[in-house]
Amino acid sequence: MKYTTIIFSTILIGIHSHAQDVNTLIKQVKNKLDNVNSYIATGSMKTSIAYLKIPIAKVNIQYKKPNDLIIKSNNGVTFVPKGVDAISLQKLFSSEFTAIDGGTEMIKQKKLRTVRLLPTSQQSNIVLSTVYINESDLVVEKSSTTTKDDGTYEMEMQYGKYIQFGLPDRIVFTFNAKDYKIPKGLTLDFDNASSRNQKIDKTMLNKGRAEIVFQQYTIN
Amino acid sequence: MGQNIVEVEGLSKSFASFEAVKHISFQIEKGSVYGFLGQNGAGKSTTMRMLLSLIQPNSGNIRIFGKPLKGNEKSILSNIGAIIEKPDTYGYLSGYDNLKIFSKIFSRPTSLSALDVLLEKVGLKGRGKDKVKSYSQGMKQRLGIAIALLNDPDFIMLDEPTNGLDPQGITEIRNLIGHFSKNEGKTILVSSHLLNEIEMVADSMIILHKGEKIAEGKVQQLLDPTKTIVTIETSNLQGAMNLIQNSNWSNKLASNNELRFEMDKEEIPLLVKSLVEHDIPVSNVQSNHSLENYFLKLTNA
Amino acid sequence: MSIWKLLEIELYKISKRPRTYISFAAISAIVLIFQFAFKADGENYMNLMLQGINDSFQLDKQQAMNGYFMCYIILNTLLVQVPILVALVAGDAISGEANMGTLRLLLSKPISRTEILIAKFLASVFYTIILLIWMAFFALVLSLWIFGSGDMLVFRVAGEVSQIMQIAQDDIVWRYLAAFGYAAVALTVIASLAVFLSLFAENSIGPIITTICIVLVFTIVSNMNIPVIDTHVKPFLFTSYLVGWKGFFYIATTQDGIPIKGSIEDIQSIQRSLMILVGHIGLLLLLSIYIFKRKDILS
C-alpha cells in the first residue's frame, strides 16, 4: 500500500513538475516568436487537392503582431486555404489555454516534446491543439489543431536560417476540405476518352495540402 | 439554207411520271428569229432550259454552234444570252451592281461609263443607282435584256419577253428583237403563248402542246391562207393514218379518234373521196382556216 | 472565270444583304449583355461555380473574373448559338438564289456548277471566319479591356470529377488562337451542312431551320449522359466534336497536379476530332457538288 502511494505521488509530482516545464517551454517558444513584431516574406505556395490543377504560386506573406497574417499572390489568382493563417504560431499561443504535457515523441528521428493546448475560452474555435516542440531550438516542428468549424489541420515546419526568430523555411499545411462538384450542365464539356476514364482517389478528395517555402524574410 | 445555230434531235424530258417534253426535234437557222409557241406547260421553258443546260434531258441530242452541248457548256454558254421565265435579278442590289456582277463573270469592263452604255441601250439610263426591287416589270425586263446582252452573244433566248409589259413595252421589245436580228445578225429564240407575238417577230416557229411538237415550219407557210388544218373524226384511225401517210399531207397528229393535219384547202374534196374509197368511216371533217384557230382549238382542248 | 473572282462576287452579294449583319449585331449584343451582367454581378456566378470551394479556400474573385475567363464563358455559351447565325447565311447559298430566280440566270452563264458551289461554300466559310474574328474581338479583346487580364480558371467536369484548372496568363493567348481556329473548322461543318441542305429548297427558310434543328437535336443527344448513347451514338454525331475547342484549355499536369505550361492534356483527341470534322466538311462538299451537278434547275 505504502509502495503504491509512493509511486502515485511520484507520478503526481512528476506530472506537476512536467507541467511546470511545459508552461515554461511554451513561454520560451512564445517569447522567441514575440521578438518578431512584423515580417514580410517572399516565397512560394504549392496548393494540392484532388480537384485543383493550379500552378505553384509566388506569394508574399505579411505578418503583424499579434494575429495579422496575409498571404498575397504576385500573379493574381491564388487559392489560399482557409485557416492557413494558423501558420503564424503566435496566433496559436496568443489565446488563453491550458497546456498539458504529452511526453516526448520521436518524429523524423527527432525527439520532440508533445504539448496539448486546451483553450480556456468557450468561444474559441479551436477545440484542441497538439504541438511538437524541439526543446533545444525552442521551435515548434509540428502541430495538429482540431477546430469546431474548419476540421483538423496539421502543420510541419522545417527551420533554417531564421530559426533564431522561430520562423520556418518551409511549412506543410494539411487541411480538410469539402468535396467539390460543379453544378451540372454549367460547363458542356469536351468529353474526350481520357477524361471519361478519369477516376479519382475518393479518400484524397477531402484532404488538402499547402506547402509554403519561404525564400526571404524581412523581419522587424 | 444557212447554217444551223441550234440542232435538236429527239429531245425528251420527264419529271417523275410527268412527261414535259416528248421527243421533239427542230433546227434554228443562223440569223433567224425562231418562235416557240405553246400554252403554259407546253414544254417551252423546259426545252429552253435544256438548251441552257439548266435541265438534263432524259434522251436526245442538242448541238449549238455545231458542237454538242454536253461537254461544251462553258464555250457554248459564253456565246448565249438568255432570259428564262421572269427576268429575275438581285433585287437587293442596284441596276449597276447587277450589271457589274455579270460583267465580272464575262470579264467585261465594270466601269460606270461602260455600264451606262449598256443601260442606255435598253432604255434604263439614269436608273442604275436604284435598287432593282424598286423597278417596274418593264424595267426589270430591260435590265434582264441588258444582262443577256452583256457578252454580245450570237444566240439570244427570250422566254415570254413581253409578259407583264404594257403595250408600249411590248412594242419596244418587238423593235429590239427586230433590231438585233436585222442590224446585228443575231440568232434569236423567242417563246410566247400568243400566236400574234410570234407571227410579228419570228421567221420560223414550232408549236408545242403538252410536250409534243404539233407543227413546225416557216411562219409564212404555216399562216399560208391556201393551207388549212383538217380534223377528221373516224372510228378507223389506223386506216386513216396509213392512207394519209402515203400522201404528201404533212404535220400529222392523232389523238383519241381524231386525226389532225395540214393540207391545201383545195385538196379537201380529194381527201374525202379517198377516205370513202378506202372504206374508212368518217363521222366528221372539219377545216380551220387560220393557224390561230387551230392553235386555240388545240390548246384549249 | 477563276474561283477567286466568283468568290469575290459571292462575298459582294453577301455583303449587300441585310441579314448578313444580323449575326454581327446579335453577337455584339449577346457579348455586351454578358459583359454588362458579369461586370455588375459576376461574383454570384463565381460563387455558384465555386460552391464548396468557398468554404475551404480564399480566392480573389475579382482577379479570377478577368477578361480571359469572361471570354471562355462567352464562348461556352455563344458557340452553341453561332451555328444558327452561320446557317442564316450558308443556308441561303443556293436556295436564296433559287428563290430570287437568279439561280437560272447564274447557271446559264459560262461557269461550271462545281465552281459556283465551291465559291458559295468558300464565301460561307469566309463569312464564318469573319464572324469568329468579330466574336474574338468582342469576347476577348473587349473583355480584357473591361475586366483586365490574369491567370485563367477553367471549370471542367471530367468523367465524374469536377476540376478547376488554372492557366498562367502568359500561356493563354495561343490557346484562344487555337480554339478559334478549331471553332472555325467546327462551324465550317455547319456551313457545309447548310449549303448542302440549301440545294434542295427554293427558299432559304427550309434549309436554315433544318440545319438548326439538326444541330439542336444532335447537340441534345450529344449532351445526354447515357452509357449506350455515349458509346454507340455520340461518336457518330458531329455535334459531339463542336466543343472540342475546349481541349486546348485542358492543360496537362504533373503527377502533383501542377499544370505544365504550353501543354495540352489530350492532343490526340483534339486531332481526331478535327479529322472527323474535316471529314464531314469534305463529305458534305463532295456530296453537294455531286448532287448540284446533276440537279435540274426548275426555279
What number is the ipTM of this complex? 0.84
Per-residue pLDDT of chain C (299 residues; tens, 9 = 90+): 688 999 999 999 999 988 889 999 999 999 999 899 988 888 888 888 887 788 788 888 888 889 999 999 888 888 778 898 999 999 999 999 999 999 999 999 999 999 999 999 999 999 999 999 999 999 999 999 999 998 999 988 877 778 889 999 899 999 999 999 999 999 999 999 999 999 999 998 999 999 999 999 998 888 777 888 888 888 888 888 888 899 999 999 888 888 999 999 889 999 999 999 999 999 999 999 999 999 999 88
Residue from the list A79, A187, A208 with its beta carbon closest to the beta carbon of C157: A187
- 3-state DSSP percent of chain A in helix, strand and coil, to 5: 25, 45, 30
Residue B78 to chain C, least CA–CA distance (Å): 5
Residues above pLDDT 90, as percent of chain A:
16
Residue B142 to chain C, least CA–CA distance (Å): 14
Cell numbers that stand for A32 in this block: 522567441
- Cβ pairs B/C, distance under 8 A: 78
- Per-residue confidence (pLDDT) for residue C262, from 0 to 100: 92
Task: Confirm or reject contact between A183 and chain C (CB < 8 A).
Answer: yes
Task: Confirm or reject contact between A79 and chain C (CB < 8 A).
Answer: yes
Task: Confirm or reject contact between A106 and chain C (CB < 8 A).
Answer: no
Cell numbers that stand for A46 in this block: 504549392
**Are A80 and C64 a contacting pair at CB < 8 A?**
no
- Cβ pairs A/C, distance under 8 A: 159
Task: Confirm or reject contact between A202 and chain C (CB < 8 A).
Answer: no
Task: Confirm or reject contact between A201 and chain C (CB < 8 A).
Answer: no
Residues of A in contact with C160 (CB under 8 A): 198-200
Residue B45 to chain C, least CA–CA distance (Å): 9
Residue B75 to chain C, least CA–CA distance (Å): 7
Residue B106 to chain C, least CA–CA distance (Å): 8
Residue C8 to chain B, least CA–CA distance (Å): 10
**Are A79 and C66 a contacting pair at CB < 8 A?**
no
H or E stretch covering A8: helix A2-34
- Per-residue confidence (pLDDT) for residue B236, from 0 to 100: 84
Q: Which of B73, B96, B106, B152 to mutate to test the interface with C (most CBs of C within 10 A)?
A: B73
DSSP H helical segments within chain C, as ranges?
3-15, 18-49, 61-64, 67-90, 95-100, 102-107, 113-136, 143-147, 173-198, 205-222, 227-232, 267-294
Mean pLDDT of B183-198: 90
Q: What is the pLDDT of residues B240-298, one digit of tens each?
A: 888 777 766 655 565 667 787 777 778 888 888 888 888 888 888 887 655 666 666 56
Residues of A in contact with C257 (CB under 8 A): 48, 50, 52-54
Q: What is the pLDDT of residues C124-138, one digit of tens each?
A: 999 999 999 999 999
Residues above pLDDT 70, as percent of chain B:
91
- Dist. CA A21–CA A214, nearest whole Å: 31
Q: Which residue type is seen at A30?
A: K
Q: What is the pLDDT of residues A53-64, one digit of tens each?
A: 888 888 998 988
- Per-residue confidence (pLDDT) for residue C222, from 0 to 100: 82
Order of strands across the sheet that contains B204-209: B80-83, B155-159, B187-192, B33-37, B204-209, B212-218
Residue C7 to chain B, least CA–CA distance (Å): 11
Helix axes C113-136, C67-90, angle to 10 degrees: 160
Neighbouring chains of C at 3+ CB pairs under 8 Å are A, B
Give CA angle at C227 (C221, C228), nearest 5°. 75
Residues above pLDDT 70, as percent of chain A:
80
- Per-residue confidence (pLDDT) for residue B142, from 0 to 100: 87
Task: Confirm or reject contact between A122 and chain C (CB < 8 A).
Answer: no
- Dist. CA B197–CA B215, nearest whole Å: 17
Judged on CB neighbours under 10 Å (0-12, 13-18, 19+), C294 is exposed
Task: Confirm or reject contact between A179 and chain C (CB < 8 A).
Answer: yes
Q: How many CB atoms lie within 10 A of CB A135?
A: 14
Torsions phi, psi for A208 (to 5 deg) = -110, 160
Per DSSP, the residues of chain B read: ---EEEEEEEEEEEETTEEEEEEEEEEEETT-EEEEE--TTSSHHHHHHHHTTSS--SEEEEEETTEESTT-HHHHHTTEEEE-SS----TTSBHHHHHHHHHHHTT---SHHHHHHHHHHTT-TT-TTSBGGGS-HHHHHHHHHHHHHTT--SEEEEESTTTT--HHHHHHHHHHHHHHHHTT--EEEEEES-HHHHHHH-SEEEEEETTEEEEEEEHHHHT-TTEEEEEEEES-HHHHHHHHHTSS-EEEEEETTEEEEEEEGGGHHHHHHHHHHTT--EEEEEEE-SHHHHHHHHHH-
Residues of B in contact with C101 (CB under 8 A): 85-86, 88
**Are A195 and C158 a contacting pair at CB < 8 A?**
yes
Contact indicator for C280, C189 with CB cutoff of 8 Å? yes
Residues of C in contact with A194 (CB under 8 A): 265-266, 269
- Per-residue confidence (pLDDT) for residue A193, from 0 to 100: 44
**Are B77 and C297 a contacting pair at CB < 8 A?**
no
Checking if the pLDDT of A32 tops 90, the result is no
- Per-residue confidence (pLDDT) for residue A204, from 0 to 100: 58
- Dist. CA A98–CA A19, nearest whole Å: 10
- Nearest chain C Cα to B153, which residue? C109
Residues of A in contact with C163 (CB under 8 A): 51-53
Contacts of B49 (CB under 8 A, 6+ apart): B55, B84, C104, C296, C297, C298
Mean pLDDT of B8-12: 95
Task: Confirm or reject contact between B77 and chain C (CB < 8 A).
Answer: yes
- Dist. CA C158–CA A194, nearest whole Å: 9
- Per-residue confidence (pLDDT) for residue C55, from 0 to 100: 79
**Are B104 and C104 a contacting pair at CB < 8 A?**
no
- Per-residue confidence (pLDDT) for residue A25, from 0 to 100: 87
Residue C160 to chain A, least CA–CA distance (Å): 7
Residue C230 to chain A, least CA–CA distance (Å): 10
Task: Confirm or reject contact between A192 and chain C (CB < 8 A).
Answer: yes
**Are C296 and B56 a contacting pair at CB < 8 A?**
yes
- Per-residue confidence (pLDDT) for residue A8, from 0 to 100: 47
**Are A198 and C158 a contacting pair at CB < 8 A?**
yes
Per DSSP, the residues of A123-148 read: T-SEEEEEEEEETTTTEEEEEEEEES
**Are C109 and B77 a contacting pair at CB < 8 A?**
yes
For residue A200, give the CATH number of its domain: 2.50.20
Provide the pLDDT confidence category of residue A17 given band limits of 50, 70 and 90: very low
Mean pLDDT of A38-56: 90
Domain around A104: 2-219
Least confident piece of the model among A81-95, B148-162, C207-221 = A81-95
Length of chain C: 299
Query: Higher confidence at residue B193 or residue A94?
Result: B193
Mean pLDDT of A207-212: 89
Neighbouring chains of A at 3+ CB pairs under 8 Å are C
- Per-residue confidence (pLDDT) for residue A10, from 0 to 100: 44
**Are C109 and B105 a contacting pair at CB < 8 A?**
yes
Residue C286 to chain B, least CA–CA distance (Å): 20
Contact indicator for B143, B89 with CB cutoff of 8 Å? yes
Q: What is the pLDDT of residues A115-140, one digit of tens each?
A: 999 988 888 888 889 999 988 888 99
Per DSSP, the residues of C78-109 read: HHHHHHHHHHHHHTTTTHHHHHHTHHHHHHTS
Q: What is the pLDDT of residues B123-154, one digit of tens each?
A: 888 899 999 999 988 889 889 989 998 889 99
Q: Is C161 helix (H, G, I), strand (E, B) or coil?
A: strand
- Per-residue confidence (pLDDT) for residue B298, from 0 to 100: 60
- Per-residue confidence (pLDDT) for residue B164, from 0 to 100: 79
Number of independent structural domains in chain A: 1
| Chains A and B in direct contact, meaning 3 or more beta-carbon pairs closer than 8 angstroms | no
Task: Confirm or reject contact between B91 and chain C (CB < 8 A).
Answer: yes
Query: pTM of the entire structure?
Result: 0.83
**Are C159 and A55 a contacting pair at CB < 8 A?**
no
- Nearest chain B Cα to C98, which residue? B88
- Per-residue confidence (pLDDT) for residue A200, from 0 to 100: 54
Query: Higher confidence at residue B224 or residue C184?
Result: C184
Checking if the pLDDT of A4 tops 60, the result is no
- Per-residue confidence (pLDDT) for residue B292, from 0 to 100: 61
Please report the residues numbered 10 through 29 in chain B whose beta carbons come closer than 8 angstroms to any beta carbon of chain C: 15
Provide the pLDDT confidence category of residue B162 given band limits of 50, 70 and 90: confident
Phi-psi map region of B109: left, alpha, beta (phi>0 left; psi -120 to 50 alpha): beta
